[in-house]
Structure 1
Amino acid sequence: MDLYKNEQMPVKDYFRIRENSEQLFEYIDGFVYMSPSPSTRHQRISSKLHIKLGNFLRGKSCEVFHAPFDIELKRENIEGTKIVIPDLTVICDKAGFTESRYIGVPNFIIEILSPTNQSHDLITKLNIYMNYGVQEYWIVNPMLNSVTVYSLDEKRMYEQHDMKTESGRVKSKFLSGFSADLQEIF
């Protein structure tokens, strides 16, 4: 993930850039980050997880959205503007939907690592999602064929709930009954 500009810009300038570009941009406290186009493998993994989540959530109150879909993280007592584009997002509170994005805190986010965005997803976004209260965060690593599941504990800190590499089934804590077999994902 490359920094678009090394200087801060107002959020209105970010929205103007987004309107005039097909590129994927994220905005974190004044800085704009540009994402490369996802690889074929990335898209296949995302598609499999999206279908699996969509089937699981059918008839339930939560919905799953796939990138590109803007999430403007907003929570009382946290200043700054953060607009992210997770690979997959599960949202149960419908109050935050606008015509162009979701404003609030999603319940469950999945990010699929690419060689160029690992630190952004593993460090920056992990900490942002934890601070805002995203209840569950999955990091899918296609280079290692692994999935790590983080869930918020009683202190609102992420704890590793599950982790599998190469084979096995990872289980969600937030979505009771939802799991994914690594052989099917990769």
Structure 2
Amino acid sequence: MNQYRTETMSIDEYFQIRENSDALLEYIDGFVYMSPSPSTKHQRISRKLENKFEDFIEGNPCELFHAPYDIELKDEKVNGTKIVIPDISIICNKDGFTDARYVGVPSLIVEILSPSNQSYDLITKLNLYMNFGVKEYWIVNPMLNAVTVYALNDENMYEQHDMQKSKGEVTSRLFEGFGIDIEDIFKS
């Protein structure tokens, strides 16, 4: 994940740049970050995960959104403006939908790592999502064929709920009974 500009900018400047750019740009407290274009493997993994999640949440009030879709993280306990574009978001509280984006906190977020954005997703976004109260955060690592699932505990801190590499089933704490075979996700 690369910074778009080294100096800070206002939210209005950010929206102005977004209107005139096809780049995936995220805004965190005045700084703008640019996501790399997804690879073929990234897109395949994303599609397979979307299909598995969609099948599971069919008929319940949650809804899945995939990138590019803006999430403006909003919680009265956290200051600043943060607009992120997760690879997959599952939103169960429908109050925050606007025509342009979702304003609030998704229940579950999936980020698929790229070689250039690993520390951003593993550190910056993990802490951001935990502070905002995203109940579950899945980090998918295509380089290692691994999936790590973090879930909020009673102290509102992330703890590793599950981790699988190369084979096995990875499960959700939030969606009881939901599991995905790792080999299905990573095979071409």
Q: TM-score range by the shorter chain?
A: over 0.9
Residue in structure 1 matched with residue 159 of structure 2 by the alignment: 159
Q: Which amino acid is 1:140 matched to?
A: V
Per the alignment, in what secondary structure is the counterpart of residue 51 of structure 2? helix
Partner of residue 134, structure 1: 134
- 5+ long unaligned stretches in structure 2: none
Residues in 1 aligned to 2:77 and 2:45: alpha-carbon distance in whole angstroms: 35
Matched residue type, 1:82: K
| Residues 97-176 of structure 1 mapped to structure 2, 5 A cutoff | 97-176=97-176
1:39 aligned partner:
39
Give the Cα–Cα distance (whole angstroms) in 2 for the partners of residues 154 and 124 of structure 1: 22
- Runs of 4+ more than 2 Å apart: none
- Quick one: which amino acid aligns to residue 180 of structure 1? I
Q: Distance in 1 between matches of 2:77 and 2:160?
A: 26
Q: TM-score, normalised by structure 2?
A: 0.98
Q: What do the CA deviations read for 1:34-61 (whole angstroms, capped 9, x no partner)?
A: 1111000000000000011111111110
CA distance in 2: counterparts of 1:88 and 1:98, whole angstroms: 18
Aligned partner of 1:92: which letter?
C
Q: Which runs of 5+ in 1 are unaligned?
A: none
Q: How many residues align?
A: 186
1:112-139 Cα distance to aligned partner (Å, 9 max, x none): 0000000000000000000000000000
Q: Which residue does 1:185 correspond to in 2? A: 185
CA RMSD between the two structures: 0.5
TM-score by length of 1: 0.99
* In the alignment, structure 1 residue 87 sits paired with structure 2 residue 116: no
